[in-house]
Amino acid sequence: QITLKESGPTLVKPTQTLTLTCTVSGLSLNTSGVGVGWIRQPPGKALEWLALIYTNDNKRYSPSLKSRLTITKDTSKNQVVLTMTNMDPVDTATYYCAHTRWKPFDYWGQGTLVTVSS
Amino acid sequence: DIQMTQSPSSLSASVGDRVTIICRASQSISTYLSWYRQRPGKAPELLIYAASTLQSGVPSRFSGSGSGTDFTLTISSLQPADFATYYCQQSYRTLWTFGQGTKVEIK
């Protein structure tokens, strides 16, 4: 059974950098073809794909946020980390991580709500 | 970027109704199209991928069709658990995008 769990701060101040961690269980991030992505959802709004990293360290970013995002993985801990710089109140959202392997996001974390406020 | 447009944005239906949701891509995406259901307060669930392949464990009342730029999700007989928001998502090439969602409400 594959599970994912997001962790990180629930509140950040404007201009700060957000760091979120996705811990994956039931699957090694060394497994061929595995990817972990980040998706966010502002309250009452639609899903927005942010970034994706694969086993081979191939990385993809949303063009609109690329300058602010960095995605990395730590295979020894089976974790994927997303950092987003220069946070703004419009970045207030639930942030999800999700697994992909040969098909799009089939396993999702429960999500973590991040509020940006001074 | 490939833009995904869903219609309608919302609809009202009754238990047992047949429901169809449309998703249109701004350029051809072959069959790199998935559908998700998101119940209130929950993470999305994958229903359909590759435009028409039912994800394991998903009830057969869900079906998908289409290729190129035009896709549909059909729920043959709406159940109480299906009152939710549905999203399409393209995974063509390297940059993925979601549609804006279709909310299915109880009539």
pLDDT digits (tens, 9 = 90+) for A59-106: 999 999 999 999 999 999 999 999 999 999 999 999 999 999 988 999
Determine the 3-state secondary structure of B80 from DSSP: helix
Q: Which residues of B touch A108 (CB under 8 A)?
A: 43-45
Cβ atoms of A10 and A114 within 8 Å: the answer is yes
How far, in Å, CA of A11 to CA of A16, rounded?
10
Cβ atoms of B50 and B32 within 8 Å: the answer is yes
Q: What is the pLDDT of residues B30-71, one digit of tens each?
A: 999 999 999 999 999 999 999 999 999 999 999 999 999 999
CB–CB of A49 and B101 under 8 A? no
Q: Which residues of B touch A48 (CB under 8 A)?
A: 98
